[in-house]
Structure 1
Amino acid sequence: MGEEYLRRTAITRPKLTPEQERLLDETLADWKRACNVASRVGWAADETRRRRLQELTYHGLGEETRLGSEHRILAAHQAAAALSGVKQTEALDEQYETSCPTFTADTMKHDARTMTLFDDETVSLATVDQRVRCELALPDDEDGYQRQYLDDDSWELTESTLTKRDGDYYLHLGFRKPKPTGLAERRDDTEDRTVLGVDLGIVNLAVTSTARFESGRELRHRHEEFERIRGSLQQTGTESAHRVIQRISGREERYTRDVLHRVANGIVDEAVEHDCEYIAFEDLSHIQNRAPPAKQFHEWAHRRLVDYVEYRADALGISVVFVSPAGTSRRCPECGHTDERNRSDRSTFRCVDCGTTGNADYIAAKNVGLRYVRRGLQSSRRTGDGRLALKSGTVKPSRGFTPSD
């Protein structure tokens, strides 16, 4: 059974006294130390199971840190999740050199035992010493988006994250509630499902099988400009230059986030317009941050874009699914012939067998969607035929093209 809950995150800031901030700083330092200790133990023991790693590290974390019992458990689970991700990467691509995960980010997990949210808009957080209780910095009016989760009893508080950024603490409060009745059942019913295929790239940030093109040229240009300015300021090396770097980094983050939200909304709107129950992407879990910086940026942007699509699609009852990326840019969607020569350059596809031509990214988007359609046809639980959404209709692997009404 798939995920049965809608999940949302509300971001706010705790109003801390200097003493409370000091306690959280010490707790955060011990949290990172605990995650790294558990990670090294799990790496040495080749252990990725949460409960087993918890058993292996619980007492040792109590000796090496001042964390309470629940935070030690959460740290072990965090390390287990990171180790499991490394193992999945190894299974997908043996050529990637993996290493023991390390934790350096100023981010710490909280659950119902380490954090309590009160009706008076205050929060209590466990630390290495005593719990701290403080107000939340919420909008004065009742229109702040956080209140739709804080004031609605149908949303249940779940695991949340405390993050320190630019000297300030932020709480990413996690909420969940059951999905609407019948939504989960519809996801399990594969009869006549319609799939939207999406290809992610650099020149075109995203292309759908319905021929929606989202250009990535401006995003790439702005990132290169930010990098050029950052490099010049880093060479200066002054405190003033450092402050400017922080300021422009925040500006780039906001710009990139806005672009990715717009593209994600466009993809989901395309799925809704064409009555798609599924949006298919290439599996990005094999990507590692060992590429050149420019490529790292686009890989990060692709991950963030997929997250945004999942977030919005989930609320509409549309499933986001993933397929293997192998051959999607070289396979002919008409005759099935796969050949490196089919893609002679970045933008052009021409099948050397049947002569089919087209934009290479659009061909790849169709192949991504068709791969998930074929997966359904091969499933023993199949109750109907899947189909790929195109601009003017749908296509089934065995029955060809059907124009829209």
Structure 2
Amino acid sequence: MKLVVRVKLLPTPEQAAALEATLRACNEAANWLSVRAFEHGRTSRSALQVLAYAALKARGLSAQPALHVLRKVADAYTALKANLKAGNLGKRGSKRNARAAGKPVVFQSDAAQPFDDRCLSWQMDGSTVSIWTTSGRMKGLIFTGQAEQLALLAACRKGESDLLLKDGRWYLVATCEIPEAALNTAPEGFVGVDLGIVNIATTSTGARYSGRHLNRQRDADRRLREKLQKKGTKAAKRRAKRHAGKEARRVSDINHKISKCIVAEAQRTGRGIALEDLTGIRERVRLRKPQRVTLHSWSFRQLGTFIAYKARRAGVPVVYVDAAYTSRECSRCHHVDRRNRPSQAVFACQACGFVEHADLNSSHNIAARGWWTWVRGAESQASVLTLTA
């Protein structure tokens, strides 16, 4: 299982200038190569290597950095083709699709640049790295990070690391190969997780993670952003830049904490985790204009991803269930009725009279669907094994 660890670099002014020149040179070379690849219609790694490897070295790049530029451009065109095919950049024939397909891929001057072990070496004892730059090999570049991340980096780092400049700060993003725990193939039930906006997550075991405080902070951030955009002065732009990403970092931190608690509970009780399949919900749901901002800022995908990878690392099985009518179905008698949900927080079954918090009732339904999904999967696998034998 692969995870990434980001550590912060602490370069001197001279080192920072060399890193910036290196990043700029690599991305200028990538843009030059992207134009040539677009003009010649040759975007695979092998084709680009034949087309421009010697020219990239002539532009001042060593052998390995030149190969990384080739791969970065090829991967960018592969991703572009996949997005065009999937319709993520508009339907075929639309103006948006034509714009994306009708011009070369462009790399910003500070776009991340990958380095392998030939270009970058780590000295974990001294918390320094040695890295290739356009002005020569730079040694003694100090890095720092959380103790847990540094221990993970020292034990599990494998593969490439990306040099990244963000908001004037330098980082290295390293790939780590994490050993996975053995999967629990006989879970004692499932913890159903209902994801929402008022309550970020509600589990079938009764845990509820409120989103009211987060939503108030989001509203405040949105109002501040609108105010600064209307003002438009240099001071307002500087302030907006300082606050950029603050909301995303806050949400990410909260989602990490929630996912950690949910996975720990499932692991401790020997159960799996059941999540709703919310793919395409933004396209399916129709809301009034004031509610659209709230829906589109809902980070359910990130929370689900955090739960999934933490569960995989802990050996906890995760299943995805159909989200249809989980909020309208009674978890006792399974009667489905729109009137069962008289308000956002209340569930009252019209058939059997069962009353419970609406999100908790939904989580019970998700847990039950998760169990039946798991059982059906196990039965299907057993039947396949029987036929094979």
Q: Do the two structures share a fold, i.e. TM-score over 0.5? A: yes
The equivalences for 1:4-403 within 5 A come to: 5=1, 7-13=3-9, 15=11, 16-28=15-27, 31=30, 54=45, 68-77=66-75, 80=78, 84=82, 107-108=111-112, 110=114, 112=116, 115-119=119-123, 121-125=128-132, 133-139=138-144, 144-152=147-155, 155-179=156-180, 183-184=181-182, 186-187=183-184, 189=185, 191-249=186-244, 251-276=246-271, 278-286=272-280, 292-298=292-298, 301-379=299-377, 380-381=380-381
Query: Per-residue deviation at 1:267?
Result: 1.9
Name the structure where helix makes up a greater proportion of residues.
2
Q: Would the alpha carbon gap of residues 59 and 14 (structure 1) be closer, same or farther in structure 2, given more than 3 Å must change?
A: farther
Query: Per-residue deviation at 1:196?
Result: 1.2
| TM-score computed with the length of structure 2 as normaliser | 0.71
Deviations 1:286-339 (A, max 9, x none): 3669994332222xx323333443454344322444333333323333344444
Give the Cα–Cα distance (whole angstroms) in 2 for the partners of residues 86 and 324 of structure 1. Answer: 28
- Supply the AA of the counterpart residue of 2:116: A
- Supply the AA of the counterpart residue of 1:216: G
Q: Between Structure 1 and Structure 2, how many residues are aligned?
A: 349
Give the Cα–Cα distance (whole angstroms) in 1 for the partners of residues 351 and 55 of structure 2. Answer: 64
What is aligned with 1:388? none
SS of residue paired to 2:112? strand
Query: Per-residue deviation at 1:28?
Result: 3.6
CA contact (8 A) 1:14 1:137 kept: yes
Deviations 1:67-111 (A, max 9, x none): 723433344345545765786788xxxxxxx95698878553626
CA contact (8 A) 1:70 1:114 kept: no
SS of residue paired to 1:110? strand
CA contact (8 A) 2:30 2:107 kept: no
Give the Cα–Cα distance (whole angstroms) in 1 for the partners of residues 240 and 353 of structure 2. Answer: 51
Query: Per-residue deviation at 1:225?
Result: 0.7
Query: Per-residue deviation at 1:146?
Result: 4.0
**Structure 2 residue runs without a partner (length 5+):** 60-64, 89-95, 285-290, 384-389
**Structure 1 residue runs without a partner (length 5+):** 46-51, 91-97, 384-405
Q: Would the alpha carbon gap of residues 332 and 238 (structure 1) be closer, same or farther in structure 2, given more than 3 Å must change?
A: same
Query: Per-residue deviation at 1:201?
Result: 0.7
SS of residue paired to 1:349? strand
Q: Would the alpha carbon gap of residues 58 and 364 (structure 1) be closer, same or farther in structure 2, given more than 3 Å must change?
A: farther
Q: Would the alpha carbon gap of residues 193 and 254 (structure 1) be closer, same or farther in structure 2, given more than 3 Å must change?
A: same
CA contact (8 A) 1:6 1:315 kept: no
SS of residue paired to 1:318? coil
Q: Of the two, which has the highest radius of gyration? A: 2
Give the Cα–Cα distance (whole angstroms) in 1 for the partners of residues 277 and 315 of structure 2. Answer: 21
Larger mean Cα displacement after TM superposition, 282-291 or 205-214? 282-291
Larger mean Cα displacement after TM superposition, 55-64 or 279-288? 55-64
What is aligned with 2:387? none
CA contact (8 A) 1:28 1:107 kept: yes
Give the Cα–Cα distance (whole angstroms) in 2 for the partners of residues 34 and 339 of structure 1. Answer: 59
Q: Would the alpha carbon gap of residues 262 and 149 (structure 1) be closer, same or farther in structure 2, given more than 3 Å must change?
A: closer
Give the Cα–Cα distance (whole angstroms) in 1 for the partners of residues 165 and 344 of structure 2. Answer: 41
CA contact (8 A) 1:35 1:78 kept: no
What percent identity do the matched residue pairs reach? 26
Q: Would the alpha carbon gap of residues 58 and 136 (structure 1) be closer, same or farther in structure 2, given more than 3 Å must change?
A: same
Query: Per-residue deviation at 1:372?
Result: 2.3
RMSD between superposed Cα atoms in Å:
4.3
Query: Per-residue deviation at 1:378?
Result: 1.4
Q: Would the alpha carbon gap of residues 130 and 252 (structure 1) be closer, same or farther in structure 2, given more than 3 Å must change?
A: same
Deviations 1:86-137 (A, max 9, x none): 86788xxxxxxx9569887855362636753233621425x7x677645443
| TM-score computed with the length of structure 1 as normaliser | 0.69
CA contact (8 A) 2:326 2:362 kept: yes
